A = this chain, B = another copy of it.
């Protein structure tokens, strides 16, 4: 069983390669979070939105991370944060080529 956390919010920037440089240390730290498996970093420089799709081992770990991350983003002046935790339906996901 694995759990998806989807997060998105409005952000003024940076985006693209500048975003990658600014948040590399944060990305490294996320690898240490409890129950964390992977994160896909998402961005839309035109709409000025960013976020992430995360996979966690448990629902509790995903919810705990979301609460911490929401507070951290608030510290960057970013709110509100849209966040949702879902269970992965594994038989259907297996049909659609996901190797993750």
Q: Residue A66 at the B interface, CB < 8 A?
A: no
Residue of B nearest to A25 (CB): B95
On whether the beta carbons of A99 and B96 are closer than 8 Å, the reply is no
Count contacts on A: residues with CB < 8 A to the other chain.
43
Q: Closest CB of chain B to A47's CB: distance in Å? A: 9
How long is the Cα–Cα vector from A75 to B23 in the complex, in angstroms?
42
Q: Closest CB of chain B to A94's CB: distance in Å? A: 9
On whether the beta carbons of A86 and B43 are closer than 8 Å, the reply is yes
- Contacts from A to B (Cβ < 8 Å): 4, 6, 8, 15-17, 19-20, 23-24, 27-28, 30-31, 37-45, 49-51, 53, 84-93, 95-100
